[in-house]
Structure 1
Amino acid sequence: MSKVQSGLRYSAEHEWINDESPAVVGVSEVAADALGEIVYVELPEVGATIEAGSVIGEIESTKSVSELYSPVSGEVVEVNETVVDDPTLVNSDPYGAGWLIKVAVSEEGPLLSAEQYAADNGAEL
């Protein structure tokens, strides 16, 4: 069963965000497990302005290609180049080394608590 990390908030599209400044954004273990072995990640460039709910990149696995959606609006201030070079980090450590981008948040989109997201997706905290 996939795990959901408490202390984070989640979008319905399976991205997570923390409350730091800048905020760190990643993909939940629920999504990583559903995708299978991740082989490619495309992320926005540093300096890009992103909007909550908009497509900001894509993630490709041996099973499928999925779009990445931003849980917040703001400016991308850092991209995890390590995960671009080694996408399997999203599978092995989705809440740690597998983070995707850091954002200077100007506005949040609709977000779920860890408890709500776990209940909605049959995952455990």
Structure 2
Amino acid sequence: MNDRRQRNIAPEHDFYDQEDTDVLSPSGLVIDTSGDIWRLGADGVVAWDDFRRVDRRILSACRSFIRHLIRNNALTYTIGQHKFMKAMAKEPFVNELNRIIERDGIFDRQCYELFKRHVRKSLS
């Protein structure tokens, strides 16, 4: 793996992930989202360890999305959405997605079509 490729694999903390780390849920809980394990009260945990092979830009977007869900939805719904994203972070899908982003530098229509095919396949 070359240096450039290694930089695109998500480290534990990254300059793309600079949002507020304390997130207030609708139920009034303050959730610490600073590390790789986010404790969502008694409802569960969001762990990012399965996302190590995901491009850091995608990981940052995923983390932002989950923070948004924590702010606006029930924690059980948020946990379910994270589990779905975790299933999507499996190979070979993530390898192909990383290849496209490494080549093009963006999440484009080709990435979106790949994502749709993978979702359909995983739901069938």
Normalised by the length of structure 1, the TM-score is: 0.26
If asked which structure has higher relative contact order (CA below 8 Å, sep 6+), I would say 1
Greater Cα radius of gyration, structure 1 or 2: 2
Structure having the larger proportion of residues in helix: 2
Structure having the larger proportion of residues in strand: 1
Normalised by the length of structure 2, the TM-score is: 0.27
